[in-house]
Structure 1
Amino acid sequence: MNDTQQIETTTLPEAIRGFLADSAGDARPSTITFFADNARVDDQGETFTGVAEVEAWLKRTTGMFVYTLQITSASNRGDGVYAVLNHLESDAFPGGEANPTFVFTVTDDKISHLTFE
């Protein structure tokens, strides 16, 4: 049974909203505060675990290219899992556009896992 429910982006947990706001520009020193101490990020076949690795990933990925991010939709998949469909525009992408889904797991008001579909 699929328990996924479409939700308003304003009802996303604070940690997700904060991360998305920060990631639309350069990662700020405060961006890491949205992640749990033992957070894991899975990105392009690599896994980054813990504050130091996630912070290094944030700095590396946000500095790779300039882009605009627009949230298209959000859903609650249950058990603290949220999916956020985004529209990105950048001259760094083939065709200049991409529509990735960021999948967040939130535990104790912090992002404990982030992956991309």
Structure 2
Amino acid sequence: MPSHQPHTIAPSNLPKTITRYLRAHHDDTATAVAAFTSDATVTDDGRTYQGAAAIEQWLNRSATEFTYTIELTEAQQTDPTHYVATHHLEGNFPGGSVDLRYQFSLRDDLIERLVIEP
């Protein structure tokens, strides 16, 4: 499998599934969970959540744990099924602000894997 370098794209060029997830992940858990495959995994803060039920619990917890603003600052595409959406967060979490890379892997137009890390 050849290695691909990510290239910057307009945030509006992110796949609809990713855009739908990003719009919903703070306040519409059902819509956010529907963007994932049934066997999807999410890795956030060093923990991995697998399957719809675990992802739903993670979304519900992360939406209430801290208060923060989130802004999409950059989007990249590595290949037809791999995308990175960089977000700037500011809020009442430790450190107060951070840039996080949301790394998406898609399968059948759904999110198969999401890794969130600085």
Q: For residue 102 of structure 2, what is the amino acid of its counterpart?
A: F
Identical counterparts, % of pairs: 30
Q: Which residue of structure 2 lines up, in the alignment, with residue 17 of structure 1?
A: 19
> C-alpha displacement at 1:42, in angstroms?
1.1
Q: Deviations over 1:11-64 (max 9, x none)?
A: 1011111111112x3343221101111100112222111111111111111111
Q: In structure 2, what is the Cα distance between the partners aligned to 1:39 and 1:104?
A: 11
Residues 15-54 of structure 1 aligned to structure 2 (within 5 Å): 15-23=17-25, 25-54=26-55
* TM-score of the aligned structures, taking structure 2 as reference length: 0.89
* TM-score of the aligned structures, taking structure 1 as reference length: 0.89
For residue 100 of structure 1, give the secondary structure of its aligned residue in structure 2: strand
Q: Which residue of structure 2 lines up, in the alignment, with residue 99 of structure 1?
A: 99
> C-alpha displacement at 1:67, in angstroms?
1.2
Q: Which residue of structure 1 lines up, in the alignment, with residue 109 of structure 2?
A: 109
Unaligned runs of 5+ residues in structure 2 are none
